């Protein structure tokens, strides 16, 4: 959530910056400023009323002592009237605060100055490419055909049990999934991330804290009886560990990693992009989260991007890193880098990770603060997170890019985790 004082002090800047996210904030910002002008006016009237009540209260005793009972009683009646007015002021203040909050949560995060303008993924900026595109043998297959050939993933059985987008992994397919999860967690642990095993369902407060609610409720599975939401990513429960806490500045950054199943309705998805593992309703992912000092959060972002890049390199996949344009960046992000790996049989790039700095946007919602030595008032922290990595498209690329006439080769870094070096 954007800082209210910043909006009041910089309304034109806020409107101009949000244009880069293709969001017209002019009416919302104008309304917020008008509401606070009303509140300030009411505050002035309330202060005058309290001053008058204090003055009259002091006079009442004196009037009684002087035998001026009628005047004293009239003064008492006036204080009762003022008290009622003050109660009304409090009611009006609360109503204005509620209106302002309801407007504030509609505003996306401001994009970082380096975020390019653009309307969608076609306008994202490629900042780095690495690796050669493999040349496959003549009868190469897409991953969904390989999964059937080698009995790795049963998409139809998933449809029978649950529905489309809920595949069943079996045999070496299930082992490959587990190997990737263990590999990613082990690498995160070596990089200093504390492992968390989070709940797979969160309450509304948690969804609000990280910006999924009220922005993305249509994409989340809602357990209506208990008003819980299945998590779209481990970012949500892990970041909410720090909701309503004050950290010590000397302990920053806090680094966590978590494996979880992720659930996304993916409403509106259709066509060839949903074939096989390209787009699922349930999938596995290892997430990394950092809580950082505001002065160091972009240094932390670069560190996280480098870390994710190292994972993709160890898997031997050709990749590229994109800086997302304003129109493709998420509601809560200030700056996001996407990683894409090349799926050779499909001849397309597949997104496998997003690494984002949310600056103070989530922390404002979470009331996540830190205390610096010698500074009396706690400060708002910065939050960052990244996929490290999401499994489905990694698996798709691994199967497709490493297929040979003899079978599917396993990257050397994964062999200690799979226990086999080829699927045949």
Q: Extract the annotated binding site for L-serine.
A: 233, 264, 287, 385
Annotated binding site: 233, 264-266, 287, 351-354, 385
- Buried/exposed 390-418: b ≥16 CB within 10 Å, e otherwise: bbbbbbbbbbbbbbeeebbbbbeebeebb
d(CA 288, CA 234) in angstroms, rounded, equals 9
Question: Strand pairing partners for 407?
Answer: 404
Annotated binding site for ATP: 264-266, 351-354
Contacts (Cβ under 8 Å, ≥6 apart) of 291 = 239, 242, 247, 252, 253, 254, 363, 368, 381, 382, 383
Contact between residue 147 and residue 399 where contact means Cβ atoms under 8 Å apart: yes
| Structure tokens, 10 | 């910089």
| Structure tokens, 305 | 């991007």
Beta-strand ranges (E) seen in 41-193 are: 125-130, 153-154, 168-169
Question: Strand pairing partners for 349?
Answer: 342
Q: Strand order of the sheet with strand 369-371?
A: 246-248, 369-371, 379-380
């Amino acid at each position: 959530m954007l800082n209210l004082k910043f909006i009041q002090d910089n309304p034109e800047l806020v409107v101009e910056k949000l244009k880069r996210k293709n969001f017209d904030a002019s009416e919302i910002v104008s309304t917020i400023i008008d509401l606070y002008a009303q509140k300030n006016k009411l505050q002035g009237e309330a202060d005058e009323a309290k001053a008058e009540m204090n003055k009259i209260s002091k006079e009442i005793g004196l009037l009684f002592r002087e035998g001026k009972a009628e005047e004293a009683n009239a003064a008492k009646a006036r204080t009762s009237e003022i008290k009622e007015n003050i109660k009304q002021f409090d009611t009006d203040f609360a109503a204005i605060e509620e209106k302002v909050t309801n407007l504030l949560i509609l505003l996306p995060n401001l994009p970082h100055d380096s975020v390019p303008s653009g309307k969608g993924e076609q306008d994202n900026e490629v900042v780095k490419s690495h690796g050669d595109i493999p040349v496959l043998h003549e009868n190469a297959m897409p991953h969904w055909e390989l999964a059937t050939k080698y009995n790795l993933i049963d998409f139809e059985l998933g449809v029978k049990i649950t529905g489309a987008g809920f595949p069943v992994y079996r045999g070496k397919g299930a082992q490959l999934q587990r190997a990737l999860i263990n590999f990613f967690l082990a690498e995160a642990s070596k990089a200093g991330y504390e492992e968390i095993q989070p709940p797979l369902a969160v309450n509304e407060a948690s969804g609000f804290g990280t910006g999924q609610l009220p922005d993305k409720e249509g994409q989340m599975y809602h357990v209506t009886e208990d008003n819980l939401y299945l998590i779209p990513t481990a970012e949500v429960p892990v970041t909410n560990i720090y909701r309503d806490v004050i950290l010590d500045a000397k302990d920053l950054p806090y680094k966590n990693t978590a494996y979880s199943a992720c659930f996304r309705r993916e409403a509106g998805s259709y066509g060839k992009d949903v074939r096989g593992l390209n787009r699922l309703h349930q999938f596995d992912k290892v997430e990394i989260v950092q809580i950082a000092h505001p002065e160091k959060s972009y240094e932390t972002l670069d560190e996280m991007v480098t870390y994710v890049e190292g994972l993709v390199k160890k898997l031997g996949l050709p990749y590229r890193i994109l800086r997302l344009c304003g129109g493709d960046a998420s509601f809560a992000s200030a700056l996001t880098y996407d990683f894409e790996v090349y799926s050779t049989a499909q001849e397309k790039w597949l997104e496998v990770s997003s690494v984002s700095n949310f600056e103070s946007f989530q922390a404002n919602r979470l009331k996540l603060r830190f205390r610096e030595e010698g500074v009396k008032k706690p400060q708002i922290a910065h939050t960052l997170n990244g996929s490290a990595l999401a499994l489905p498209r990694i698996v798709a690329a691994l199967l497709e890019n490493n297929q040979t006439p003899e079978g599917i080769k396993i990257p050397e870094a994964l062999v200690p985790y799979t226990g086999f070096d080829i699927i045949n």
